Amino acid sequence: MALINENFLKLKAGYLFPEIARRVKAFTEANPEAAKRLIRCGIGDVTEALPEAVRYAMHEAVDEMGNRGTFKGYGPEQGYDFLRKAIAENDFQARGINVDADEIFISDGSKCDTGNILDIFGKGNKIAITDPVYPVYVDTNVMIGNTGDADENGAYAGLHYLKCGPENGFVPAIPNERVDLVYLCYPNNPTGATATRAQLEAWVQYALKNDTIILYDAAYEAFIQDDSIPRSIFEIEGARDCAIEFRSFSKNGGFTGMRCAFVVIPKGLMGKTASGEKQAIHPLWSRRHSTKFNGASYIIQKGAEALYTAEGKSQVKALIEHYMGNAKLLVQACKDAGLAVYGGVNAPYVWVKTPSGLTSWQMFDKMLNEANVVITPGSGFGSAGEGYFRISAFNSRANVEEVCTRIKALTK
């Protein structure tokens, strides 16, 4: 019999969102009438239609594929130049950030990228993650063998947990010890918190001093409303020598079902071999892409490029305004209900303290059974998330207004 990767056996029962889906399915089967009024604010999945500019661009791309003269087979694994250039110019250079097109690697999603990045790092790295955290960072480290077993709180031996809570604004304090890799995500999933320029400067200083690489997940940067908050780690001086950035079209362009994202790796970013020789990270990721990935589809990349046209930009702006309008309503409803609420101001996630000492899963069950609203239990993001729940602002306005009414009724 073939040996299996036993690291998978260390994983907790199920990935958070499939586990929620399983519970919701059981509820809908047992309560078909109540299920009709179910509103899903669990997984952060977009609900509004794709921007028109994207649809037109993809229609044209489909027609190109239908013509022998313009048909495309395999594309460049790292992404088409037209998209890499559009990203470099619009997301970075136009904002005075030094990122070149060939430092951008197009992919089919940030979930894959933040997991796959571990392929190019060695064993024995000290790895820090925030708690609460996007579970993919943890689970992929478990799968690849970078951790020991989980304790009764679900914390894995070998990972350095950086506690985040209201006391530090959900941005971790700089650790006293050195680590090799640290995952930071701002605007944050799940807490909706943002990191200030000064906080990111402190992290970059720490990383430079300790030869740490920051894995910076900026999938939610488009939701930032406050211009003083950095949208990219590369706005911070020195970050090109210590950071990799992950970006996604999922939430700004409505691409969760389309799949397109990118990673930025500065060419000068270095790691080292076991014998201590410096090695650039960029060619390793490029090599990985060439071997394990055949590129995102041409049609999807044409759609993503259209997000950078004048029409595309204004359609994205409208989407962001819609979801952030939802977030504002949800924050206010939670406040009106007397709940302690965080996030939802520069991020599409609202992070709420459970009332009356309920655990996160008790609150999940209460919301499901009594309000028929699906939320995400905070403990699914780590032990520091216990006692919280997350409401996603990705929904129609009518649904969000209804959720607000039900939250207020539930906590009366």
Residues that bind ligand MLT (CB under 6 A): 43-45, 111, 189
- Please say which residue, 20 or 207, places its beta carbon nearer to ligand MLT: 20
State which residue has the least CB distance to ligand MLT. Answer: 44
**Nearest approach, Cβ of 44 to ligand MLT (angstroms)?**
3
- Please say which residue, 188 or 315, places its beta carbon nearer to ligand MLT: 188
**Nearest approach, Cβ of 308 to ligand MLT (angstroms)?**
22
- Please say which residue, 45 or 401, places its beta carbon nearer to ligand MLT: 45
Q: Which residue from 252, 231, 128 is spatially nearest to 183, judged by alpha carbons? A: 128
397, 325 contact by CB (below 8 A) = yes
- Please say which residue, 189 or 395, places its beta carbon nearer to ligand MLT: 189
Q: Which residue from 234, 217, 249, 200 is spatially nearest to 115, judged by alpha carbons? A: 217
**Nearest approach, Cβ of 348 to ligand MLT (angstroms)?**
9
**Nearest approach, Cβ of 210 to ligand MLT (angstroms)?**
29
251 class by beta-carbon count within 10 Å (0-12 exposed, 13-18 middle, 19+ buried) = buried
Token digits of residue 109: 């999603």
Strands 39-40 and 373-374: parallel
**Nearest approach, Cβ of 136 to ligand MLT (angstroms)?**
7
Handedness of CA 51, 57, 61, 63 (dihedral sign): positive
Non-local (6+) Cβ contacts of 236 within 8 A are 197, 200, 201, 204, 230
Calpha distance 412→406 (Å, rounded): 10
- Please say which residue, 41 or 242, places its beta carbon nearer to ligand MLT: 41
Vertex 21 angle, CA 18 and 22, to 5°:
90
- Please say which residue, 189 or 252, places its beta carbon nearer to ligand MLT: 189
**Nearest approach, Cβ of 287 to ligand MLT (angstroms)?**
26
Residue type, 143: M
